[in-house]
Structure 1
Amino acid sequence: MNRKWFLLSLLFIAFGIILTACSSTASEERKDLVLGATVPYSDMLKDGVVPQLEKKGYNVEVKEFNDYVQPNIALDNGDLDANLFQHKVYLENFNKERNLELIDIISVPTAPIGIYSEKYGSLEEIEEGSTVAIANDPTNLARGLTVIRDAGLIELKEEINPVNATVNDVKENPKQLTFNEVDAAQLPRSLESVDFAAINGNFAVAAGLDLTAAIYRDVIPDEIQNRIVVRADDKDNQVSKDIIEAVESEEFAKVIAEKFAGFHKPKWMEE
């Protein structure tokens, strides 16, 4: 091999090494993130998580959704790096129905379903024959009914799975309540025309209701606590680790105390 070809070979080798190094660095230093959430969890991300990710050098966009389907579709197809809007039961059912592999990495404070009323100031004041508004979609309908049950206003059939409860599963209704099923997002507005309503926390917050003003608030079990979710393949990557670190920080806890009063904290935050 003459000197010319020897030098050219060295140049090609060096160029290949540089390309490999650049490719590796670009992969390791991926800093543009898109996080998806519904209100008010989009605000929780913006105030409690994004500032800390930015300190680590990430450029973060928070995309807001107004439904419970598209955030998971967007996450699965790569348009999102993580999302925050759902609890474990919903996630597991969604994965099963859509054949997806999404996984939760950490739970966060969750706005509880509350019983709100412009007529009554306490559960004891609720009169016989009162009308109550509840969500009409299966997931939120069941949760609304279990909250009304836990408040001592109705009893559900023992043999049914509370996760799938409907009005037909009400076994005892001592106050002869009348149930009005409406779209979950319209529940706050329904307070003008019913005696009380079981309203999802996110819709209550979006409507400007004070969570602490509810005459009864759901005590949320762990499996109903909302979670930050990623693709299964990304569970142990650096982005997921940095998100978890942000949520577990004192800064995040301070934001929750100052801006998310009435949210039910997961067990790990109470320990």
Structure 2
Amino acid sequence: MRRYSLLLFAVFISVLLSGCGASGENEKKEITLGATVPYSDMLEKGVKPYLEKKGYKVEVKEFNDYVQPNISLKSGSLDANLFQHKVYMDAFGKENNMKLASVITVPTAPIGIYSKKYKTLDEIKPGSTVTLANDPTNLSRGLTVLRDNGLIEIDNSANPLKVSEKDVTKNPKNLKFQPVEAAQTPRTLDSVDLAAVNGNFALSSGLDLKDALVKDKLPEEIINRIVVLENDKNSKLAKDLKAAVESEEFRKVIERNFGEFHKPDWMSK
């Protein structure tokens, strides 16, 4: 009887262990990654090939707004996305009751000041109109670029990530600020003097990042990152995504196709 009991116990342990092994082997291999332009290209050229060598079947889905990529992540139609920085990720998660996690930061297109009327900042005439993105983070970034280049001054006590027109303390050229949807900023260049344009929208509209009069300097919390749901941050996919971005193949893609992008600290070492 004792021998029979030991045999049953051994069979139970064997089945349990084989079950654990099966779950590890059955990690999801058909995945969908979401991104805005040009990060969809970054995924296609720099991440997808690496993952496919690892046995994944990868689809890259392109979005044209900053809301649906996270909503799709929550619904399960995306496994990871690439379009947002930490400040946006944290704010979106809080407002939409989502727990999001950063996998790794990637080279990020800077906000630039563009103009069809002026070739240098010195040419800017008093009373010129500047369009800026109307969402808090990118509005702050646009104003900060103007400040860093001596066009305005900002209250030192203002939250650097939430600066608005109300925080402008000096405006010697009497610039007129016109906030619009971030995606619309490139289209305003035909009707205004200057526009602070996010790099991704600049590229998608045909602007060359090299043509920006000046660009912003990005702190780490404003660097874009691959994002997953909090529950998936230690998954096999998250680890493989991180390895893909850290690979030499990814670095070559960046050097070849995204040379004007601001690199995160870890990539500059």
TM-score when normalising by structure 2 = 0.90
Q: Alignment partner of 1:149: what SS?
A: helix
What is the correspondence of 1:1-271 to structure 2 with a 5 Å cutoff? 21=19, 24=22, 28-271=26-269
* Deviation for aligned residue 1:118: 1.2
* Deviation for aligned residue 1:92: 1.2
Flag as ranges the 4+ runs of structure 1 deviating above 4 A.
20-23
Q: Distance in 1 between matches of 2:190 and 2:46?
A: 34
* Deviation for aligned residue 1:137: 2.6
- Gaps in structure 2 of 5+ consecutive residues: 1-7
* Deviation for aligned residue 1:239: 0.8
Q: Alignment partner of 2:62: what SS?
A: strand
* Deviation for aligned residue 1:138: 2.6
| Residues 36 and 62 in structure 1, CA contact (< 8 A), matched pair in contact too | yes
* Deviation for aligned residue 1:77: 2.7
Cα distance change of structure 1 residues 27 and 181 upon mapping to structure 2, 3 Å threshold: same
Q: Deviations over 1:227-263 (max 9, x none)?
A: 1011122112211111111101111111111111211
Q: Distance in 2 between matches of 1:27 and 1:186?
A: 46
Count of residues paired in the alignment = 262
The letter for the 2-side match of 1:198 is A
* Deviation for aligned residue 1:26: 7.5
Q: Distance in 2 between matches of 1:22 and 1:233?
A: 19
Q: Alignment partner of 2:139: what SS?
A: helix
Q: Distance in 2 between matches of 1:269 and 1:217?
A: 20
> Percent same amino acid among aligned pairs?
60
Q: Distance in 1 between matches of 2:118 and 2:199?
A: 19
Q: Distance in 1 between matches of 2:240 and 2:39?
A: 18
Q: Alignment partner of 2:161: what SS?
A: helix
Q: Deviations over 1:74-116 (max 9, x none)?
A: 2123221111110011111122222221100100000000011
Q: Alignment partner of 1:49: what SS?
A: helix
Q: Alignment partner of 1:83: what SS?
A: strand
* Deviation for aligned residue 1:198: 0.6
Q: Alignment partner of 2:130: what SS?
A: strand
